[in-house]
Amino acid sequence: MDPVEDVLGLTAGYAAQFLSSLDERPVRPSASFETLLDAFGGTLPDEGSEDAQVVADLVAAAEPGVVGTQTGRYFGFVIGSALPAAVAADWLATAWDQNGFSVVTSPAAAAVEDVAARWTAELLGVPGDVSGGFVTGAQGANTTALAAARQHVLARAGWDVGREGLNGAPHVRVLAGAERHVTIDRSLRLLGFGTACLELVPADRQGRMLARALREVLAAGDRPAIVCAQAGNVNTGAFDPLDEVADACEEVGAWLHVDGAFGLWAAASPRYRHLVAGSERADSWGTDAHKWLNVPYDSGLVFCRHADAHAESMAVSASYLQRGGGRSPSDWVPESSRRARGFAVWAALRALGRSGVADLVDRCCAHARAFAELLGAQADVEILNEVVLNQVLVRFGDDDATTREVVRRVQEGGTCWLGATDWQGRAAMRISVSSFRTTAHDVERSVAAILEAAGAVRHASAHAS
Ligand SMILES: Cc1ncc(COP(=O)(O)O)c(C=O)c1O
C-alpha cells in the first residue's frame, strides 16, 4: 500500500478504536501533566522516525491525557462532542491542507464558508444579508464584532480609528451586564478600550441584564455607545431580555452586540426560540460551532449587520495578495492565513439538517431538566438556577466546601466530568449538557455517581464531627 494511505488508514483505526472504547474509559484523564511531559519529552531527536511509528508513539503518549469530551457524560465548561461527519470533514480539510485566506488560495474553502455562514445565520435567526466570518470561537467572534463596532461608532463621530487609532479619539462608552462573559473584557483589552471603560449594568439573580437599568446607564451619557448583551449565561444559561435591550439601544443609537456563544443556538429550536427574541435586531453577533453544534475545535462565527465597518476593521490588501472573485474569507476575521473551518461546519449542518439541530438543542435541554429534577428531589441538594436551557447549577448541603468536595469526588470517580463555579457568592456544581451523545442513561449514571459522591462527603463529615 502507498505509505501515505498506510499511515492515514492506521490513524483512522486508532481514532475509531478510541471512539468505540469511550464507555470503558474514565471521562477524566488517567495520567498527570508531569507524566505526559515525560511521555512526549526526552531530548529532541536528531533523526526522523517512520510516520507509522510517530503516530503509534503519539497515541501511546497522548491517550492517557485525553479528556473524554467525546462521551455523553462530559458536562464540563460548555464543551460539546464532535459529530462524526464534522470530524471527517475536518480531517479532509487537513489532508487537503487548504489555506482559507481567499478564493485563490482555496475556492472550495471560500465557497463552503459562504454557504455554511448563510445556513448558520438562518438557524440562529440572524438576518440573511449580514457579513460573516469564521473565527476560532466566541472569543474571536466577540473581538471581531467589537472591532467592527469600534470602527462604526467612531466613524459616525467623525473619527477613522483604522487610521488614527484610539489616541485622541472621542470616548466610546461600552456597556455590558454584570454577568457578561469574561471574554468581553479580554476583547476590550485587545481593542485598546481597556476594561476601565466598561459601564456595568446590574443583573438579576439569573444573571440577566436589567433592561430598566440599561436605560438608566445609557441615559447618563451621550457619547457613542456599544452595548454587549448575552444570549446564554455561561453559568445559568439565562438570556438578557434582548428585545428590551434592543429597544434601549435603538432609542439612543447604540451598537448592540449579542454574545451568543452557545445560547444563540436556542433559535434553532421552535421550543426555545422565544429566548432569543429581539436578537435579530442586533448589529453584531458572536457564536461558537464547537460548543452546541458539536464541531471539532476550534470553530466560531461572527456576523455583522454593517459589512463596511466589518471589512474596514479587518481586511488587508497587498499587491501580491491575489484573491479572485467572490467573498474573501480573511476580509472578515483578524487572521490572514487560516484553517479552512467552513468544511466541518457545513458537514455538521448537512449531517443534522434543520430538524437535527433543533432536536440536539431540545434533547440537551431535556437532559438538563432531568438533572435538575433528579438531583433537586434529594434532601440537602439545591438547584440554584432556573433551568431555561442546558445549564444546571447544583449546591450540596448549602455549603461551599461540601459542594466543592462533591465536585472533586465526582471528577476523580471518572463516571462523568463536571466543574465547579461560584454563582453570586455561593459555590455550585456546574453541569452543561452540550453533547449529541448524551442519553437518558448517561444522565441516570451520572446522577447516581453524583449522589454517591454527595453521600460519601456527608458520611465523611458526619464521622469527622
Ligand atoms: C457566553 C460566552 N461567551 C464567550 C465564550 C467564549 O467562547 P470560546 O471559549 O469558544 O472562545 C463563552 C464560553 O463558554 C461563553 O459561554
In contact, 288 and 262? CB cutoff 8 Å? yes
For atom 10 of ligand 1, the residue with the nearest CA is 137
Q: Average pLDDT for residues 101-120, to the nearest whole number? A: 97
Please tell me the distance from the alpha carbon of residue 246 to that of residue 231, in angstroms, as a whole number. 13
Q: What is the pLDDT of residue 269?
A: 98
For atom 2 of ligand 1, the residue with the nearest CA is 261
pLDDT of 322 over the 90 cut? no
- What average pLDDT does the structure give for the chain? 97
Q: Average pLDDT for residues 48-66, to the nearest whole number? A: 97
Find the 293 Cα to ligand 1 centroid distance in Å.
Answer: 14
Find the 138 Cα to ligand 1 centroid distance in Å.
Answer: 5
Q: Average pLDDT for residues 160-170, to the nearest whole number? A: 97
Q: What is the pLDDT of residue 4?
A: 76
For atom 12 of ligand 1, the residue with the nearest CA is 261
Pocket residue to mutate for ligand 1, from 79, 136, 139, most atoms within 8 A of Cβ: 139
Q: Average pLDDT for residues 417-430, to the nearest whole number? A: 98
Q: What is the pLDDT of residue 3?
A: 76
Q: What is the pLDDT of residue 195?
A: 96
pLDDT of 366 over the 90 cut? yes
pLDDT tens by residue, 297-321: 999 999 999 999 999 999 999 999 9
Grid cell digits, residue 435: 453533547
Supply the pTM of this predicted model.
0.97
Please tell me the distance from the alpha carbon of residue 203 to that of residue 120, in angstroms, as a whole number. 29
Nearest atom in ligand 1 to 232's CA: 1
The helix (H) or strand (E) run that includes residue 257 is: strand 255-259
Nearest atom in ligand 1 to 263's CA: 1
Q: What is the pLDDT of residue 357?
A: 98
pLDDT of 416 over the 90 cut? yes
Find the 409 Cα to ligand 1 centroid distance in Å.
Answer: 26
Please tell me the distance from the alpha carbon of residue 449 to that of residue 455, in angstroms, as a whole number. 10
Grid cell digits, residue 443: 444522565
Q: What is the pLDDT of residue 231?
A: 98
What is the β-pairing status of strands 255-259 and 225-230?
parallel
Q: What is the pLDDT of residue 296?
A: 98
Q: What percent of the chain has pLDDT over 90?
A: 95
In contact, 300 and 181? CB cutoff 8 Å? no
Pocket flag, ligand 1, residue 179 (CB < 6 Å)? no
Please tell me the distance from the alpha carbon of residue 347 to that of residue 91, in angstroms, as a whole number. 12
Q: Which of 221-225, 266-270, 339-343, 370-374 is predicted least confidently?
A: 221-225
In contact, 273 and 266? CB cutoff 8 Å? yes
Nearest atom in ligand 1 to 260's CA: 1
In contact, 90 and 290? CB cutoff 8 Å? no
Helix (H, G, I), strand (E, B) or coil at 288: strand
pLDDT of 5 over the 80 cut? no
Grid cell digits, residue 214: 440599561
pLDDT of 383 over the 80 cut? yes
Pocket residue to mutate for ligand 1, from 69, 79, 142, 183, most atoms within 8 A of Cβ: 183
Find the 79 Cα to ligand 1 centroid distance in Å.
Answer: 10
Nearest atom in ligand 1 to 141's CA: 11
Find the 190 Cα to ligand 1 centroid distance in Å.
Answer: 16
Find the 3 Cα to ligand 1 centroid distance in Å.
Answer: 40
Grid cell digits, residue 304: 455583522
Find the 336 Cα to ligand 1 centroid distance in Å.
Answer: 23
**pLDDT level of residue 1 (50, 70, 90 thresholds):** low
pLDDT of 54 over the 80 cut? yes
Find the 434 Cα to ligand 1 centroid distance in Å.
Answer: 13
In contact, 249 and 224? CB cutoff 8 Å? no
Please tell me the distance from the alpha carbon of residue 384 to that of residue 379, in angstroms, as a whole number. 14
What phi-psi label fits residue 400: left (phi over 0), alpha (psi between -120 and 50 degrees) or beta? Answer: alpha
In contact, 207 and 179? CB cutoff 8 Å? yes
pLDDT tens by residue, 122-138: 999 999 999 999 999 99
Nearest atom in ligand 1 to 233's CA: 1
pLDDT of 454 over the 70 cut? yes
Q: What is the pLDDT of residue 395?
A: 98
Q: What is the pLDDT of residue 447?
A: 98
Pocket flag, ligand 1, residue 288 (CB < 6 Å)? yes
Please tell me the distance from the alpha carbon of residue 189 to that of residue 47, in angstroms, as a whole number. 44
In terms of Cβ atoms closer than 10 Å to its own Cβ (0-12, 13-18, 19+), residue 35 is: middle
Pocket flag, ligand 1, residue 138 (CB < 6 Å)? yes
Q: What is the pLDDT of residue 199?
A: 97
Q: What is the pLDDT of residue 464?
A: 85
Q: What is the DSSP string of 368-430?
A: HHHHHHHHHTSTTEEE-S--SSSEEEEEETT-HHHHHHHHHHHHHH-S-B-EEEEETTEEEEE
Q: Average pLDDT for residues 56-65, to the nearest whole number? A: 98
Please tell me the distance from the alpha carbon of residue 456 to that of residue 100, in angstroms, as a whole number. 52
Find the 284 Cα to ligand 1 centroid distance in Å.
Answer: 16
Determine the distance from the C-alpha atom of residue 306 to the mean position of all C-alpha atoms in its chain, rounded to a whole number: 23
Q: What is the pLDDT of residue 423?
A: 98
What is the β-pairing status of strands 300-304 and 426-432?
unpaired
